[in-house]
Amino acid sequence: MGLIPTLLILTLAVGVAGLANWLERRPGDLGQPPLIPWTAVQMVALVIAILMLAHLVSLATGTPLKSRFGF
């Protein structure tokens, strides 16, 4: 994956996380739980953003990401 798709996915993930944060903080109706768990959406978007940041660093340095176990 190149630089442009990485930046687009990173921007989209940060935007979705921000939207989910805003929707989670809105006052809700008592007795009616939200249909979409916005906290879970926010956490998934943040994980995707962190992965895209790591991929962006690997694109900038030219070395691929490796785990602690060398994979």
- At 34, is the pLDDT very low, low, confident or very high (cuts 50, 70, 90)? confident
Give me 5's structure tokens: 């798709």
Residue pair 21/64 in contact by the 8 Å Cβ criterion: no
Domain ranges of the chain: 3-24+36-61
Average confidence (pLDDT) over 20-43: 91
- At 1, is the pLDDT very low, low, confident or very high (cuts 50, 70, 90)? confident
Strand, coil or helix: 35:
coil
Largest CA distance in the chain: 53
Residue 63 one-letter amino acid: T
pTM (2 d.p.): 0.83
**CA distances for 34 relative to 26, 27, 66, angstroms:** 11, 11, 39
